[in-house]
Structures are given as structure tokens and as C-alpha cells.
Chains A and B, each alone.
Chain A
């Protein structure tokens, strides 16, 4: 989602603060059913599947109309469980009728524009990349069309235990992603090699992001938080070049005809 503050007020010169408008992209945690135990366990697993990206990440809570009606004790417990699972609720999505719940939880309401989910320059609170090949350093921005972020291009192999995150752009790996490695991008993830590890596209919520690889064998694939864990690759796509996209919130994997 995109949150944009209007340039509010200008503090007088020499003031101890400056109030600016900032743009941040945030993940939205939409609650489908309010089953606290199920939610905590599934969410913990999900966080554990991509700790570099998710642990401690701020999220905006998106309660569906039914959940908003839950009693306030339950809502507080919900926020507590989300916290225990490793995410931090920092605001609530301003759905119709959400005011009471937001008030009860003492959370600000953020407008959620459902038509546009373009992700803007994201600046997550924590550094995410660990043991990333040296190339992860931000390259100087070459001149190009305004607003177009160059992709992060890394040679493979990305090995077990390594994590790569392309913030606010696509990620291109020219090689193998090993089992136990994790590659994530706010945009699309392209793997020109075997994908055996975890791949997360649309990491900040862009549902249009996609994952491509030359040979599919991923442990986990996720787009905008919709993920699938593969004990083993489905027969029809195992080892094949595939495209993974979201179809009405469902992760679809289909062989690329090449």
C-alpha cells in the first residue's frame, strides 16, 4: 500500500524539529478469519520462512467487516498474537466502520487505496540482507526514465543460508538459488537457473509481482504474502521453466512455453 502525507506545516526556522512528508511502503496484514490460535501458528511459520524480510516488520492491520465487530478484548489479543508471531502492528487500515476497533486498539487509521498498489521507495526499519554477495551494494543510479528503479542483478549461485532482498525493485539472479537460500523482491523475481530455495515476489504487497525460473524446485514461493510451501515440487512443473503469479489471491504455477 502507499501512504502519502500532505506537506503539513512548516516549522519556523531554527525549530527543534522539521515536519516533512514521507513515503513508505508497508505490508498489509489482512485477517481472513479470526481464529487466534490458527493465525498465530500460521503467521509464525510464515515469518520463520522469511525471517530476514519479515521478523519485526511493521504491518497495517486490515480487518474485514466481520472481524471489526469482535469484542475489543479479542482484538487486543489478536494484536498480541501477531506481535508474538514476529510482526508489529503499527496502524489499522481505514475500512468503513473500522474507527471503533482502531480506537479500542489505540492505533491510527491509514487510508488504503484498493485500486493502486504500486510500491514506492521502501525503507524498511531493519537491514535485511545478510551474507549477501558483495554486489548487493546499491549501484549508483544511472540516468534513465524517471521513477524506474533498475533491477538488482546478482550472479548465482545464491547459496544455502544467504538472503537477498531487492528493495523497491525487481531481482534478477543469473544462476542457481540453492535449497536453504532466500531471494526476495518488492517487484518480480527472475532466476536464470534452478530455483531450489525460497522466492518471495511482491514482498511489500504488490499482487502483480511474479516469479520466474528456469527450473522449478522451490521450497517456498510467495507473492504479496500469499505463499505455498512445497514438500516436493508438483509433478507437472518439477524441474521446468515456470511462471508463478497470483490469480485472485491464489498462487498459480504454470510451465513457461519456451
Chain B
């Protein structure tokens, strides 16, 4: 039986889809049979970041409605043959995701894959709720700023009180924090919350710290998740997070300001 990991946040635009795509590739690269599911019904972003948008024929809602089989809707990744994507539907019907429908698809995926990653939409409405309801573990993506931290706190609270695991007496969803868009320089200047601040407020340890980096946007634009860019700090940070999610110990990187070289210090820049 596979494990269901939800990538969620409460607040929008903090990096859930970026994270889902990179974790999915990371797990696949580490040999896990992985599927990543886009729960953001109506918007559909994950397929773009994964670089498979042209091959979307059927989507999540089609499967639920019985328009196609699950197999038909799964898009195989071109880079890893143990990685699949299930795209979101672009329907405007917010009720397209039903609890029974999602349960059926999730359980089928769980039987087939080692890891089922759920890319949650922002907010705490139906899509977000269903994405987290079935999860065994949660990666709560948080940016080091007050409103993102507050929303994550809210989401952690909802998760603690409503989940299939809890209802079936299997204990709570295991929680992890992933701090993204982190800028050690700004933390040092005192205009951004630090890793320790966020951990203290939320009472959960971070599983990774992904620095703010222009590499993320260029990776997204080219449909290659940033984790596959081995020159990028953000990519290496995601690879560390994958290792930690698999139970390995890795020291934190990219949490200290970059030391400037001698010439840079002399001449600025």
C-alpha cells in the first residue's frame, strides 16, 4: 500500500505546485513509484510545471465521472518511467470533486503506487479539504511571513481535527513544514522571519528550507521541475527535503547568508 502525501498551505502562491512537482521527480528519481495529482480544479497548473500539458487528454474529474479509466487519465512522465501525473480538470464546477469519487481514485492509486502526492489548491474549501482528508502525511508549504504562517497554522488545525486517518483511529496525519522562498540575507537584516521563528510559532520542525531563487521561475517556464537542475540551490534544497522525507538525515543548507568573496566585498555587488 502506498502512502498519500498532501502538499498544502492555506495561503495561495506560496509554492505548493512548485514543491509538488519537485518532490514527485525527487521520489521517482529515488526509485519510488510515484503519482502526483492536481487537486486545483478549475486552474490546472501542475501539468505545465511538469512539462506534460500537451499530453493531457483526460483529467481527475473525468475519472471520477467515469468518462475514462484511471489508467487512461494517467500521464507518464518522459524522464522517469515510474512517475505519472493526474491533471486537474478545467471545469468551473466547484462540486465536481465528490468525497466518494476522490476516495475511490485515491484508493486505486494507493494500491498501484508507492507515493501519491496531492497538490492542494489554496484556501480551505472543498478541493483543499479533500486533498488533505485522505492524507497519511502532510507537507505544509510556508513562506517566512506572518500571513502565510497564520494560514498554515489554520490548516494544521483543520488537519488535526478532520482526516480519514483520525476517523479510522490510525492516529493523526504526520506533519512536516517546508519553508520556501527563504532569503537568509533578509532574515539577517531582520525583515524576514527565521527558520527558528516559524518552527516556534507552528510547533512543527521544518523538513526543508528552499531559498528564494530565480532558477525556480525559469525551471517552471521550461517545464522542468527545479529539483532536476543540479546547479540550482533551490533544486538541491528540494533533493535534501526528499531525502529527509524518506527518513535520511541531512544537515540544513542555504539557511545562512552567502559569504561574499574578497573582490565582491571590496567592490560591492
A interface residue numbers (CB < 8 A to B): 131-134, 156-162, 175-176, 178-181, 196
List of B residues within 8 angstroms of A157 by Cβ: 153, 156-157, 202-203
Interface residue? B181 (CB, 8 A):
no
**14 CB < 8 A contacts A-B:** A156-B203, A157-B153, A157-B156, A157-B157, A159-B153, A159-B154, A159-B156, A159-B160, A160-B153, A160-B157, A161-B154, A161-B158, A162-B157, A196-B201
List of B residues within 8 angstroms of A131 by Cβ: 157-158, 161-162
List of A residues within 8 angstroms of B201 by Cβ: 178, 196
Q: How many residues of B contact A (CB 8 A)?
A: 14
Q: How far is the CA of A160 from the CA of B203 in the complex (A)?
A: 13
* Chain B interface helix/strand/loop/mixed: helix
Contacts A131-B158, A162-B161 given; 11 further ones with Cβ under 8 A? A133-B161, A157-B156, A158-B157, A159-B156, A160-B153, A160-B157, A175-B203, A178-B153, A178-B157, A179-B150, A180-B150
Does A161 lie within 8 Å of B203, measured CB to CB? no
Does A132 lie within 8 Å of B154, measured CB to CB? no
With beta carbons under 8 angstroms apart, the residue of A159, A175, A196 that contacts B157 is: A159
- Chain A nearest Cβ from B8, distance in angstroms: 14
Q: How far is the CA of A160 from the CA of B202 in the complex (A)?
A: 10
Q: How far is the CA of A219 from the CA of B161 in the complex (A)?
A: 23
List of A residues within 8 angstroms of B160 by Cβ: 133, 159
List of B residues within 8 angstroms of A158 by Cβ: 157
Does B203 lie within 8 Å of A176, measured CB to CB? yes
Number of A-B contacts (CB under 8 A): 43
* Chain A interface helix/strand/loop/mixed: loop
Interface residue? B103 (CB, 8 A):
no
List of A residues within 8 angstroms of B158 by Cβ: 131, 161
Does A160 lie within 8 Å of B150, measured CB to CB? yes
- Chain A nearest Cβ from B147, distance in angstroms: 11
List of B residues within 8 angstroms of A132 by Cβ: 161
- Chain B nearest Cβ from A181, distance in angstroms: 8
* Ranked 6 nearest A-B pairs via Cβ: A159-B157, A160-B153, A160-B154, A161-B154, A162-B157, A159-B153
Q: How far is the CA of A179 from the CA of B151 in the complex (A)?
A: 11
